[in-house]
Structure 1
């Protein structure tokens, strides 16, 4: 009788998972019995959640480290060992439904300790729905962070918040979704909260803020050669490079102490022997930072390849820092100064372009009293050569200045050192300002020459916009086509480009400048903007590009971005990644399409506009 009435023996979350958890085939690449030793760094995180002294566990981590299984194990543990009211929060309701159907349901089906504890969803009196699971002694509610009523509708003891850096800053008018959920725990003395996410921007990262509030634990691993304990860092991953380029397959980890190089096998043995060490005082919040190199599913070669593919393009580099390195994104320093760029000028002009130039595009900016355009040559790896920047004075509301632009785009012929003659293959014309209808008319009459009317769009909380996408913006005239250009993404990319100093050989993404053909203030205009982070009216921290103090003109910057968009509109792709990770060009073919690759817009009969393009139509 005493044995029957005695409470079950104390069991940590990791011990429960090792004894009971089964990974399902449709939700895991390694189905079968769960083994915490496979991801030893997760043991301390799971056991902290079951530690009576810990109220909040926060985890800042990269992708592909087994984080979702930590949440699954926590749900299973509390259903089986410590029945409670549980609230699981996903960024959106749709993501909550996906987690319930693709992660939770297979776990409940395949883990014997959980099988049968939640009623059959087909039974008539069942309280088992996609977002609500009842079990003896408690329930599981699955909600989206964008639904304030679900967050504040019930008391809960356990809160599991996933990917918190993707949450909206406010759940409707009720404030921070996490704090709203935590207020539901106030009546429970034994409440527990798990907060985790891949970090986003450093200034607005929720998981970073929670990490700093805790004891900031870091995972220390011993060197396989000298036993020195150290935190794995990206800077210690090294690889070979020769005249043919980078060799990611040679990637090794360099010990801080003895300088020995670890293979992937040695790295994983070191991770198995690692331990979490706090670097700040404990105040009830156990915070963890899973760093690069701990995951058994990502090799050092893969880490290096992803870096090489992302390093020259700011949006991709930010994604790499967040998802591979596991760090919040911090803005890098300014691009090279105008003086440094001017000092890099090279001895070429439009009649002696380097052999690397394969084709030319143009970007046209519209002002109230003039048009400005840049001609840019492009080569393999999207290496760029600025050819010239011109100002056409005149009223854009009249035909004369547009005729001058038309002649410049049609008749300009540049010559390369190997004797090839190049003309403008495509051009993008900005339709912003007061002369949008003139831009649309000019582009409409020259669609066969790949001259596009464009409008710049910035990034927002939904993500980055592509420099050149398939989506077209609406216009009043059904026959017009207005293309969106992701200007913030392009400016991020140009800032990274300008940091690259061209070498004697091919330098992907580098920008070259001629000694002649540019105005005295061209480089000031090209570097005229900077990134700032502002608080929007909705309470979001948003990155924006703004003019630097004292700067008044940015036409050179706008024209370069428009020329880049024109380059991306062409079917020829200059960036390809080979086995070595180096960008190579797609070869040009004789049958390369010369017309706009997008489907044609049906011809719509309409009245002629009196201010038509006459002979230019």
Structure 2
């Protein structure tokens, strides 16, 4: 037995084996995600203007975001950003590399569509795996038994699955720890018929106590932006840069940018919000190396970051200004699409729909005192009828040269629509005369009655019996591509002529006329007389909707929506639409003749037109 002081000879092969075991069992060095990227990540020539070693210092705003993603105590990170800040490389690819190499885990990468997922895998992920030595051998791409495909990569300790948000089947597979959701504002509202794709993906994280969710996106429309909703519930951190002159930290906002509108190639400067000194782009970006994120809601559980292109080191300020100038010119010409894209992709902010809308108070104040029930310039009368369960609402409108209009009467006729009496009352009202100052009676030339409610067959019968008086059954149909007036069909139980109205086109036409502020063609007059029925509620209903632009199934479309969801009485708007349609359907020749007649002849024709209907 050897003594305590004696030595034991250990074979060299055994020592080498022990050394290898120690190396394998030795815990990896503690690295943040940004440190891992600086040490190991290589940029590929296919996807970078500067291939080679990754350097976070080139875009210092990326460091804190990456480290938040790698922080095991942070469960969710939200990045609402402009387009050119390097978000895919920094926050998606670096995260994949970090978790593959340093903290292996099952990961899910979600792109808006399956095609975009395949493109991401081929053009971005594959080059990174090929060119980053630490990742190169972790995915077996040669063996047919590896199970690796374009949309699925296995590696020791985990896997990467790539799905499209439009594919329900890709969201119902095995559990995942890390969810990387890219461009979430472009996700469909439902993955097939399964529901919200982001919620479906998050359900797959329930088995992991240390799950991680990263949401990245350029925002789209305010009020319909998933990334903005998530950001608002987060810490809401803005990138702040010290002023090159006074050192005051502040976010870079568009209002501080100063440029020459007449010479867009001139240097762009930025004014400090405290000292007011103008400094160059170079000075501000040099100072950004000392930049930091400042949280508006620091106690929130999720970390949320916002970035605009002014902070980006990948885009110059002159380019941003030139894009703004083009978008602004388009906006001045009535096309807001360019400005919407600029706000989304350069400022990293949602586009707030202004909508085409009118204020009820302005129109109410515009009421005037008529000299008679029917002003002298009125040539014909039309009407619209809205059918409710307990009443009819009717508006009579007068029309003159150039479609100048006068509200004549807004009337409610109450009764049980299942009984004949209220229909007789409606008929009597439509037959009644309205008088000019000289006593000339005017009667309704044409009337549109809505058949879209509960009493459709009754409306059809009522209108069919009075078709020779131009009492017309109509039914509204929404949609920007639906024409205002179509030829009638008799495809109904009563075989009454039925006109389908493109109500969206009618509302757009009406709002343009209501916006006219100069009396004459297209101007809308309203009476101040109390008995005429044009009270404050009428104007609130007339202006109850606005035209907005929204995305539906990935496509932009315009639609009319209520300005105030709490107030849904839009009958005055519908009725003016119906009365306008009645004029278009009747197409009175007298208006065209009147517009072309000499002034002396116009007065005589006005008297003749008093008996129309």
Q: Is residue 36 of structure 1 aligned with residue 51 of structure 2?
A: no
Where in structure 2 are the equivalents of 1:51-450 lying within 5 Å?
51-69=71-89, 70-120=91-141, 122-241=142-261, 245=262, 247=264, 249-308=266-325, 309-310=327-328, 311-312=331-332, 313-332=335-354, 431-435=483-487
User: Which secondary structure state, in structure 2, belongs to the residue aligned with residue 86 of structure 1?
Assistant: strand
Where in structure 2 are the equivalents of 1:492-511 lying within 5 Å?
none
Q: Call closer, same or farther: CA 1:182–1:389 in 2, change over 3 Å.
A: same
- Show the counterpart of 2:29: 9
Structure 1 contact 170–176 (Cα < 8 Å) conserved: yes
* Distance (Å, rounded) in 2 between the aligned partners of 1:529 and 1:117: 61
* Distance (Å, rounded) in 1 between the aligned partners of 2:520 and 2:337: 33
Give how far 1:23 is off. Answer: 1.6
Q: Call closer, same or farther: CA 1:389–1:297 in 2, change over 3 Å.
A: farther
- Show the counterpart of 1:447: none
Higher mean displacement: 86-95 or 272-281: 272-281
Q: Call closer, same or farther: CA 1:173–1:301 in 2, change over 3 Å.
A: same
- Show the counterpart of 1:479: none
Spell out, residue by residue over 1:540-580, the C-alpha distance to the aligned partner (whole angstroms, 9 max, x if none): 99973248766437779x99xxxxxxxxxxxxxxxxxxxxx
- Show the counterpart of 1:378: none
Give how far 1:124 is off. Answer: 2.3
Higher mean displacement: 69-78 or 314-323: 314-323
Spell out, residue by residue over 1:582-601, the C-alpha distance to the aligned partner (whole angstroms, 9 max, x if none): xxxxxxxxxxxxxxxxxxxx
Q: Which has the larger radius of gyration?
A: 2
Give how far 1:87 is off. Answer: 0.6
Give how far 1:80 is off. Answer: 1.4
Give how far 1:144 is off. Answer: 0.9
Structure 1 contact 220–231 (Cα < 8 Å) conserved: yes
Q: Call closer, same or farther: CA 1:532–1:389 in 2, change over 3 Å.
A: closer
**Corresponding pairs, count:** 435
User: What is the root-mean-square deviation in Å for CA atoms of aligned residues?
Assistant: 4.8
Structure 1 contact 23–110 (Cα < 8 Å) conserved: yes
Q: Call closer, same or farther: CA 1:258–1:206 in 2, change over 3 Å.
A: same
* Distance (Å, rounded) in 1 between the aligned partners of 2:157 and 2:164: 24
* Distance (Å, rounded) in 2 between the aligned partners of 1:457 and 1:111: 59
Give how far 1:329 is off. Answer: 2.3
* Distance (Å, rounded) in 2 between the aligned partners of 1:333 and 1:14: 43
* Distance (Å, rounded) in 1 between the aligned partners of 2:280 and 2:502: 47
User: Which secondary structure state, in structure 2, belongs to the residue aligned with residue 293 of structure 1?
Assistant: helix
* Distance (Å, rounded) in 2 between the aligned partners of 1:39 and 1:142: 27
* Distance (Å, rounded) in 2 between the aligned partners of 1:239 and 1:512: 36
Higher mean displacement: 305-314 or 249-258: 305-314
Give how far 1:237 is off. Answer: 1.4
* Distance (Å, rounded) in 1 between the aligned partners of 2:143 and 2:482: 61
Spell out, residue by residue over 1:214-237, the C-alpha distance to the aligned partner (whole angstroms, 9 max, x if none): 222221110011100001111111
Give how far 1:75 is off. Answer: 0.7
Structure 2 residues not aligned, in runs of 5+: 1-18, 366-383, 386-400, 406-444, 449-480, 490-500, 527-538, 564-568, 582-613
- Show the counterpart of 1:472: none
Give how far 1:327 is off. Answer: 1.1
Q: Call closer, same or farther: CA 1:251–1:520 in 2, change over 3 Å.
A: same
* Distance (Å, rounded) in 1 between the aligned partners of 2:187 and 2:230: 14
Spell out, residue by residue over 1:404-459, the C-alpha distance to the aligned partner (whole angstroms, 9 max, x if none): xxxxxxxxxxxxxxxxxxxxxxxxx984433289xxxxxxxxxxxxxxxxx9898x
User: Which secondary structure state, in structure 2, belongs to the residue aligned with residue 159 of structure 1?
Assistant: strand
Structure 1 residues not aligned, in runs of 5+: 344-366, 369-386, 397-428, 438-454, 459-484, 499-510, 560-617
User: Which secondary structure state, in structure 2, belongs to the residue aligned with residue 114 of structure 1?
Assistant: helix
Q: Call closer, same or farther: CA 1:554–1:238 in 2, change over 3 Å.
A: farther
Q: Call closer, same or farther: CA 1:283–1:517 in 2, change over 3 Å.
A: closer
User: Which secondary structure state, in structure 2, belongs to the residue aligned with residue 219 of structure 1?
Assistant: strand
Structure 1 contact 233–292 (Cα < 8 Å) conserved: no
- Show the counterpart of 1:544: 559
* Distance (Å, rounded) in 2 between the aligned partners of 1:537 and 1:304: 31
User: Which secondary structure state, in structure 1, belongs to the residue aligned with residue 559 of structure 2?
Assistant: strand
* Distance (Å, rounded) in 1 between the aligned partners of 2:63 and 2:521: 63
* Distance (Å, rounded) in 1 between the aligned partners of 2:361 and 2:233: 43
Q: Call closer, same or farther: CA 1:436–1:29 in 2, change over 3 Å.
A: farther
Give how far 1:532 is off. Answer: 6.8
Q: Call closer, same or farther: CA 1:262–1:555 in 2, change over 3 Å.
A: farther
* Distance (Å, rounded) in 1 between the aligned partners of 2:315 and 2:164: 30
* Distance (Å, rounded) in 2 between the aligned partners of 1:436 and 1:248: 59
* Distance (Å, rounded) in 2 between the aligned partners of 1:317 and 1:456: 29
Give how far 1:388 is off. Answer: 5.7
Give how far 1:512 is off. Answer: 9.8
